[in-house]
Amino acid sequence: MREPLLLEFDNYVYVQGRDLMDEESPTHPLFAEGTLPEVVAELRAKLRADQESFRPEVLNGPVAQGIRARAGQWFQRIDFPAHGISTTSDRAWVYFDEGGVNTLGKNLTSEEACLLRPLPKWMYLQKRIPPLEGKSILEVGSSNGFFPFRFAELGAKKITGIDVQKYKHESAVWANSILGWKMIEFRHSDFLVDLSIVPHDIVFSSEVINHTLCPLWAIARLVSLAKETLILDTGVFESKKHEMELSSGWSRDREKLYFLSFHISDGLLCSYLRILGFRASEIVKYEQRGADHTLYIIDTSGLHQRQDSGEIVEDLRRSLTMEWTLPGH
């Protein structure tokens, strides 16, 4: 890797592989000092309560039939409290993998993380997101609908959940046919190419942009859709250097791509946000140190005002405002 550089010329300053200002954004711990053990204990108590309150007869009811019909699609745990059942009531319904960010930095086992997912994330998110009362909120990569259901409980006025996977989308629509939240719309779509998505007050996306073909473009797209706040929950390298690494998962015969993941450094992400026009003070970071996990809460309102007053460099302005040119125009 080349060494970072800062060179001063007569009429401009050139920076390579580093931030111009090295200005720190406000940074806080993801979990308040000393509270992670309590959070882990609370999550484990939830798993114990699942077992203690389990009634085998619920596995024969109509809600169980609906969950069973979508077995293997339950990446997220969806609870149906009025029916005493959850998508994890039968382990055969659950999607098991390594557990990712839901292990809370390997403080939960992969199995625990998958049985609870994404409740471990919700434990920190619910304390960090802005008030939702009366707001519109868009979740990109909404999977089985866990977060839209929480946003509805917190009083959001309008909630849109977008997911590109057909069966994930259908599972969320089915879950809401049981839960009955009228202000939620689930859409089966790819946010990178769906031009009909309208801006919302708040845009939330957790562990999605890294899986897209162009994660940096995905961030610009999310910024354009967020009128007030963009909440980006993602794994990043804890490094000030500009780094990006591509990982991918394949079938054992090496023929079929299952997923891709671009892992980027905090330094690259923050410098890129600064290139888009954000000020360091508009990006608030919540870090779980040692876990390569940072939650970014980005105030987008100032940027949109600056765009309107023409402050953004001309080369980037049309891309940043997503000023599409459609065929025939």
Ligand X SMILES: C[S@@+](CC[C@H](N)C(=O)[O-])C[C@H]1O[C@@H](n2cnc3c(N)ncnc32)[C@H](O)[C@@H]1O
Structure tokens at 233: 């929950």
Residue 294 near ligand X by CB under 6 A: no
Are 161 and 148 in contact, with CB atoms under 8 Å apart? yes
Amino acid, res. 278: F
Are 284 and 30 in contact, with CB atoms under 8 Å apart? no
- State the nearest-atom distance from the C-beta of 27 to ligand X, in Å: 22
Distances (CA, A) of 145 to 66, 142, 162: 15, 5, 9
Among 50, 170, 190, 238, binds ligand X (CB under 6 A): 190
Among 25, 73, 143, 229, binds ligand X (CB under 6 A): 143
Residue 151 near ligand X by CB under 6 A: no
Residue 263 near ligand X by CB under 6 A: no
Residue 164 near ligand X by CB under 6 A: yes
Residue 136 near ligand X by CB under 6 A: no
Among 73, 206, 224, 234, binds ligand X (CB under 6 A): 206
Residue 179 near ligand X by CB under 6 A: no
Tell me the residue nearest to ligand X as measured from the CB.
141
- State the nearest-atom distance from the C-beta of 21 to ligand X, in Å: 32
DSSP H/E element including 125? helix 119-128
Nearest C-alpha neighbor of 104 from the set 289, 315, 231, 304: 289
**Candidate ranges 1-9, 158-166, 301-309, 319-327; the one touching ligand X (CB under 6 A):** 158-166
x/- letters, 219..258, toward ligand X (CB under 6 A): ----------------------------------------
Q: Measure CA 163 to chain center.
A: 12
DSSP tag of 16? E
| Cβ atoms < 10 Å from Cβ of 1 | 7
Backbone angles phi, psi at 137, to 5 degrees: -140, 135
- In the complex, the residues that contact ligand X under the rule CB under 6 A are 76, 118, 140-141, 143, 162-165, 168, 190-192, 206-208, 211-212
